Homo-oligomer: A and B are copies of this chain.
Amino acid sequence: MQTLFRYNWMVREEWYKWCENLPEAELLKPRTGGAGGILKTLFHIADVEWSWIMSIQGKPDFQEDFEQYRNLQKVRDLDATFRPEVEQFVRAWNEGLERKIFEDRRPDGSMVTDAWGEVMRHVIAHEIHHVGQLSIWAREVGKTPVSANLIGKGLMDSLPGRL
């Protein structure tokens, strides 16, 4: 579990760096599919990760919208604000949490239940999926996307405990 979160954080950081070399207009430009734009996707990734991890703990969710964060630095700052609590939760993850039940009340009032382990994997897959979308837009603006490789990043070199 931890390995895939750490992979996502490393790749996300590389995308932030990648964005430094693109004019802001390109970062903000509306695009077809996904969250609808490059920076908006990065905002959405950080937002969704944080929101899920708050929600399953019964903590207040993040409710702001992208209109207040239409700038690379603002998105990075927001992500940096979220990260410590997300990281703490991920590091403390253990097998005993896998099947805890999260009761999710939907906007229509209905209740859906998910296992915490499902939610965590959903968050992991959510980011990788959106990063795949970024890679297409990168090619469309004529740039090489950040590598999606998980191997070769030393992700399991020094990890003492859970993977």
A122 touching B138 in the complex, CB below 8 Å, given contacts A132-B130, A133-B133:
no
Q: Cβ of A155: which chain B residues have Cβ within 8 Å of it?
A: 118, 121
Asked if A115 is an interface residue, CB under 8 A from chain B, the answer is: yes
Most buried by B among A122, A130, A140: A122
Does A131 lie at the interface of the complex (its beta carbon under 8 Å from any beta carbon of B)? yes
Q: Is A98 an interface residue (CB 8 A)?
A: yes
CB atoms of A129 and B156 under 8 A apart: no
Is the pair A163, B4 in contact by a Cβ cutoff of 8 Å?
A: no
Checking B34, B122, B148 against A125 with a beta-carbon cut-off of 8 angstroms, the contacting residue is B148
A3 within 8 A of B: yes
Residue A71, interface by CB 8 Å: no
Q: Is A149 an interface residue (CB 8 A)?
A: yes
A128 at interface by CB-CB < 8 Å = yes
Q: How far is the CA of A140 from the CA of B137 in the complex (A)?
A: 12
Partner of A139, one of B33, B128, B138, B139: B33
Contact with B along A2-36 (1 / 0, CB 8 A): 01100100000000000000000000000011100
Q: Is A126 in contact with chain B by the CB < 8 A criterion?
A: yes
* A150 within 8 A of partner (CB): yes
Known: A33-B145, A129-B148, A133-B133. 6 other contacts (CB 8 A): A3-B117, A32-B139, A34-B136, A129-B131, A130-B132, A132-B136
